[in-house]
């Protein structure tokens, strides 16, 4: 199974382009889930949803949909994984109704989290519920030198069957900062080397595309073969598509799947396209 998605499940800019024109905020997840089978749940990074919201999310998706929620930044960034046992247990309890629909819980570590802090990560991984898949994204360059520090990180992740998130920002940084959206994205996204490795069963790619969609092909063409390889090995890849402002992320995902040559709902007409076609009949 290949899971495909975007870094969000709704945007006002998607109304009338991908989602229906009259789509409300509470309807966005349900409509998004008709196009994609996964999503980066970035909202959990900034704030905890209410239990009622958790239930509404669960009721909005089909049974084969998978979230990849981020661990709150108060745990990963502010506390830097120190003395977070109780907080993490409470967070897991809050999200437990969604456990069957979680493809991975993503731990995004800040740039300041260096190889000298690896023991903290080792301790934290032992706190994960057995039924909850985990992935880790590192941003400190000390983990990208192909030396003992990177080897230690990869071995730790392999030991716990944890996926190392691969952040591919090459397309984003290949274009000139000519718009506010590109400037903002280049300031926020990490410019780290791309090391392709699968340390668990569900390799995760976060692909940050450039504005000219066809120009992304030069960057993602090697991923096509790698994904086919992982699928042949029985792995379950996740690929999430970003653009500088995410206005065209669904179009980038569709182009990618057309080139990959595998069937996926993103290749079907978007809800907005169906709506537009129906309106032309009357």
pLDDT in tens, 211-249: 999 999 999 999 999 999 999 999 999 999 999 999 999
pLDDT digits (tens, 9 = 90+) for 47-93: 999 999 999 999 999 999 999 999 999 999 999 999 999 999 999 99
pLDDT of residue 130: 86
190: CB partners within 8 A, 6+ apart: 111, 139, 167, 169
Tokens representing 145 are: 């030198």
Give residue 131's pLDDT: 87
- Give the helix ranges, DSSP H, for the chain: 28-32, 43-46, 51-60, 73, 85-95, 118-125, 148-159, 170-174, 180-188, 217-232, 249-260, 271-279
Q: In this predicted structure, what is the pLDDT of residue 279?
A: 60
Within 8 A by CB and 6+ apart from 17, the residues are 270, 272
Sheet hosting strand 238-242, strand order edge to edge:
3-5, 238-242, 204-208, 166-168
pLDDT of 278: 63
pTM: 0.94
Kindly report, residue by residue over 98-136, the tens digit of the pLDDT. 999 999 999 999 999 999 999 999 999 999 998 899 999
Residue with tokens 């209410």: 50
Mean pLDDT of 157-182: 96
Euclidean distance between the first and the last CA atom of the chain, given in angstroms as a whole number: 39
Task: Identify which of 187, 203, 169 has the alpha carbon closest to the alpha carbon of residue 68.
Answer: 203
pLDDT at residue 230 in the model: 97
Residue 204 pairs with which residues in a beta bridge? 238
């Amino acid at each position: 199974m290949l899971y495909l998605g975007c870094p969000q499940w709704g945007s006002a800019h998607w109304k009338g382009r991908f989602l229906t024109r009259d789509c409300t905020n509470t309807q966005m997840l349900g409509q998004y889930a008709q196009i994609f089978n996964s999503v980066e749940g970035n909202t959990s990074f900034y704030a905890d949803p209410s239990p009622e919201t958790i239930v509404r999310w669960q009721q909005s998706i089909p049974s084969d949909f998978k979230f990849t929620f981020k661990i709150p930044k108060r745990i990963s960034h502010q506390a830097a994984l120190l003395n977070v046992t109780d907080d993490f247990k409470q967070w897991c309890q809050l999200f437990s109704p969604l456990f069957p629909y979680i493809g991975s819980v993503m731990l995004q570590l800040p740039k300041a989290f260096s190889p000298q802090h690896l023991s903290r990560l080792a301790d934290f991984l032992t706190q994960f519920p057995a039924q909850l898949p985990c992935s880790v994204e590192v941003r400190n360059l000390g983990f990208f030198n192909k030396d003992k520090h990177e080897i230690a990180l990869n071995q730790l992740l392999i030991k716990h069957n944890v996926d190392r998130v691969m952040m591919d920002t090459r397309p984003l940084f290949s274009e000139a900062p000519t718009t506010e959206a590109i400037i903002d994205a280049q300031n926020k996204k990490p410019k780290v080397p791309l090391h392709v490795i699968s340390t668990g069963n569900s390799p995760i790619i976060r692909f940050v595309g450039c504005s000219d969609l066809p120009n992304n092909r030069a960057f993602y063409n090697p991923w096509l073969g790698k994904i086919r390889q992982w699928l042949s090995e029985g792995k379950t890849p996740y690929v999430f598509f970003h653009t500088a402002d995410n206005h065209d992320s669904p179009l980038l995902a569709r182009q990618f799947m057309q080139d990959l040559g595998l069937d996926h709902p993103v290749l079907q007409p978007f809800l907005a396209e169906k709506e537009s076609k129906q309106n032309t009949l009357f």
